[in-house]
Structure 1
Amino acid sequence: MTHCSNHGAPVLALVAGLTLATPALADPGSRLWATGGVTTIEGSAGGGLVPWALLAGYASDQEWGGTVTLSRAEVDDFTLNVTGAALNWHNRVEVSIARQTLDLDTLGATLGEDELSQDIFGIKARLFGDVLYSDYGQWSLGLQHKRQRDFDIPEAIGADDDQGTDVYLSGSKLFFAAVADRNLLVNATVRGTRANQGGLLGFGGDRNDSYKAMLETSVGLFLNRSWIAGAEYRHKPDNLGFATEDDWWDAFVAWVPDRRVSVTAAWTDLGDIAGLEDQRGLYLSLQGSF
């Protein structure tokens, strides 16, 4: 795995700056602590890999708010950088945007390209329920429209399209005092998608070009008010004949020292990517809420 210490220092400095500065800022909303989740690599509220039914930030039914995010994942042969922002209107509708850039650390010299990138435009609507108090939790419906910015490599390996739209249904429920008197958040998401490696390798392919339903799950245990530990699993389609696409999973810890800032770190296993085996490494994300 590539070393991330040089890249992590600016992020940690920004975390420290935000934490020190936040007492002077206005409260970002009135929902309960950590009920906005963090931000996925695709820009929507959730964990790192899986969107949740929760909407970004802390806006209640009479408020609006949002988040901004910087994320980085370093695995054996690739580095993924993500910048994103989301707005929450009245805890009913979330709109988001994200830019993903995948550095081809190992393949770059062979392929003649240094990176792949895509833009993701998302919208999520809360259908019904409440994550805290409803018997069946909160349910939301979301769309993520993804547009490739560099399609030469995906097209060469068999991808059919340079853009596509994922649709997903998420349900999230917080169980009070569920494990050793600690609260437990459980999420399940069903995603309809044609995306290869989340869209970074295009959409559809020679093996399959139709939508498939993928199951994604998350659990998070509140160790105390400021610390959450958990895991995620994301089932993936397998559209391209040149290389098998593996499922993703991670084990994460999130620190929420203040309602205006959160930091998430995870050990991530992305399986084989583009024929390169065992892509595992560290994920770090910083989120600010307003």
Structure 2
Amino acid sequence: MPRPNGFHPEAAHRCLAAILLAATAAAPVMADTGKLRLTGGVSTIEGAAGGGISPWAVIGGPGAEGQLGLAAHVSRAETQDYGLTAYGVTAGINDRLEVSFGHQDFDTGITGTALGLPGLHLKMDVVGAKLRVAGDAILDSDTLMPQIAVGVQAKRLQSSGLDATLTALGAKRDGVDFYVSATKLFLAQGILVNGTLRATKANQNGLLGFGAKLGGASDDYELMPEFSVAYLLRKDLAVGFEYRGMPDKLLKAGRAAGLGEGLKANDWKDFFVAWAPSKNVSLTAAYVDLGRVVPATTKGKRQTGVYVSAQFAF
């Protein structure tokens, strides 16, 4: 998917931020009843409503039709060699439009030390928008019709000590993801299934830049699948599994740089449990498997660990 002529990530950030401010100012009544618990998902690490690592077609916040719903989240993931802190806000307008902002702070741990940059943190901002284009997860729960939404996420990796390395690999510090999601809720059975197809250039979600050119590596968009399934044990408690495909754009560039398989990436997975003690609070814990993340500096270990997140909605 080539970038449209005249399209720039900086303009996307400004445009989506303007949508967030304008939509919030012009939105309908604040939500006071809203959706059933957990049927609106939780907050992803990028800010959009969904699971922890993949957006769903649901609109964030507790607001139903004719309402404005707001949500804020903070999340933390820890693996053997890395740590990630994420936080953000989401606004759902009329259960039709969602706008979001997310910030990620990635502690490079052993990799930063190996690069002579101990204490290196990679920080990225994500501005997103999502539009429900068909279906209704609740009203269509007794049919086969899923809720369908399209979304965009403009991402910018802040300048850091890794800039020179990314430039040498031919990776950029900004990029835009496009996705379409379909969410099917079987309310009587307590099962939710989501499928997302994402067009992206992001390396490790964008924390290692976007695309690569060294050694003839690809700088084109790739279509990556994502899948989620959740089972409602009761109205306030759910368990589930997520899968997110990851491009492997840095592999060829790493080989050209003499690193062999040292920049290879793997798909992400998690097993989660989500608890909503009230309509305004949800807590999520998960076992995560991020595969190999810069195996050149981590002896090829799979990065597994824990993820916790808290969301507050009103």
Question: With structure 2 as the length reference, what TM-score do the two structures score?
Answer: 0.80
- Cα distance in 2 for partners of 1:84, 1:209 equals 29
1:52-76 Cα shifts (integer Å, max 9, x gaps) = 0001111111110110000000001
| Aligned-residue RMSD, C-alpha | 1.5
1:201-247 Cα shifts (integer Å, max 9, x gaps) = 00001321100100000000000011100000001111113211100
SS in 1 for 2:234: coil
User: Gapped runs of 5+ residues in structure 2?
Assistant: 1-29, 255-262
CA deviation after TM superposition for structure 1 residue 177, in Å: 3.5
CA deviation after TM superposition for structure 1 residue 27, in Å: 6.1
1:99-114, aligned counterparts within 5 Å? 99-111=103-115, 112=117, 114=120
Does the Cα contact within 8 Å between 2:31 and 2:62 map onto a contact in 1? Answer: no
CA deviation after TM superposition for structure 1 residue 28, in Å: 4.1
- Cα distance in 2 for partners of 1:34, 1:45 equals 11
1:22-41, aligned counterparts within 5 Å? 28-41=32-45
1:70-105 Cα shifts (integer Å, max 9, x gaps) = 000000111000010001111111110011000112
SS in 2 for 1:132: coil
Determine whether 1:122 maps to 2:142: no
Q: Percent identity?
A: 40
SS in 2 for 1:99: strand
1:89-238, aligned counterparts within 5 Å? 89-111=93-115, 112=117, 114-134=120-140, 135-150=144-159, 152-153=161-162, 155-157=164-166, 158-178=169-189, 183-206=190-213, 207-238=217-248
Mark the CA change 1:159 to 1:233 in structure 2 (over 3 Å): closer, same or farther.
Answer: farther
- Cα distance in 2 for partners of 1:59, 1:119 equals 25
Count how many residue pairs are aligned between Structure 1 and Structure 2: 261
1:8-45 Cα shifts (integer Å, max 9, x gaps) = xxxxxxxxxxxxxxxxxx96442222221100010000
Amino acid in the other structure paired with 1:196: N
Does the Cα contact within 8 Å between 1:28 and 1:259 map onto a contact in 2? Answer: no
CA deviation after TM superposition for structure 1 residue 154, in Å: 5.5
Question: With structure 1 as the length reference, what TM-score do the two structures score?
Answer: 0.87
Would you tell me which structure has more helix in proportion to its own residues? 2
- Cα distance in 1 for partners of 2:32, 2:44 equals 20
1:155-203 Cα shifts (integer Å, max 9, x gaps) = 515142110000000000111333xxxx100000000000000000000
- Cα distance in 1 for partners of 2:275, 2:194 equals 19
Amino acid in the other structure paired with 1:262: S
Mark the CA change 1:175 to 1:186 in structure 2 (over 3 Å): closer, same or farther.
Answer: same
Mark the CA change 1:62 to 1:143 in structure 2 (over 3 Å): closer, same or farther.
Answer: same
- Cα distance in 1 for partners of 2:227, 2:44 equals 13
CA deviation after TM superposition for structure 1 residue 150, in Å: 2.7
Does the Cα contact within 8 Å between 2:49 and 2:55 map onto a contact in 1? Answer: yes
SS in 1 for 2:187: strand
The answer for the alignment partner of 2:74 in structure 1 is 70
- Cα distance in 2 for partners of 1:155, 1:176 equals 51
Does the Cα contact within 8 Å between 2:201 and 2:222 map onto a contact in 1? Answer: yes
- Cα distance in 2 for partners of 1:173, 1:155 equals 44
- Cα distance in 1 for partners of 2:274, 2:170 equals 35
Determine whether 1:274 maps to 2:280: no
Does the Cα contact within 8 Å between 1:92 and 1:126 map onto a contact in 2? Answer: yes
Moved over 4 A (4+): none
User: Gapped runs of 5+ residues in structure 1?
Assistant: 1-25
Determine whether 1:80 maps to 2:104: no
- Cα distance in 1 for partners of 2:222, 2:112 equals 30
- Cα distance in 1 for partners of 2:170, 2:161 equals 10
Mark the CA change 1:27 to 1:209 in structure 2 (over 3 Å): closer, same or farther.
Answer: closer
